[in-house]
């Protein structure tokens, strides 16, 4: 799975999360917008973390060097 595919999965997860929250607890437009904001923020945070770690390993400048003992 490449970078874009997984990013798409994150996006989908965000959309599904936002939709399900909208369907499960519909409490007026203001609260729904708050829920939406929270889901989007959470998705962005999680995606960013994943993307950073993924990109850092894409072209490794240093590679794992095993310990002597192992």
Q: Is 15 in the site for another protein (CB under 8 A)?
A: no
Q: Contacts for 2-5 with beta carbons within 8 Å, 24 or more apart?
A: 3/51, 3/54, 3/55, 3/58
Q: Is 20 in the site for another protein (CB under 8 A)?
A: no
Q: Is 4 in the site for another protein (CB under 8 A)?
A: no
Tokens linked to 69: 């003992």
Per the CB < 8 A criterion, the answer to whether 28 and 36 are in contact is: no
The size of the interface with another protein (CB under 8 A), counted in residues, is 36
Contact footprint for another protein (CB under 8 A):
1-2, 6, 29-34, 37-38, 41-42, 45-46, 48-50, 52-68, 70
């Amino acid at each position: 799975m490449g970078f874009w595919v997984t990013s798409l999965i994150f996006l989908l997860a965000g959309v599904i999360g936002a939709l399900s929250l909208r369907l499960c607890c519909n409490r007026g437009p203001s609260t729904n917008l708050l829920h939406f904001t929270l889901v989007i923020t959470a998705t962005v945070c999680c995606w960013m973390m994943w993307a950073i770690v993924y990109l850092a390993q894409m072209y490794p400048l240093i590679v794992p060097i095993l310990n002597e003992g192992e």
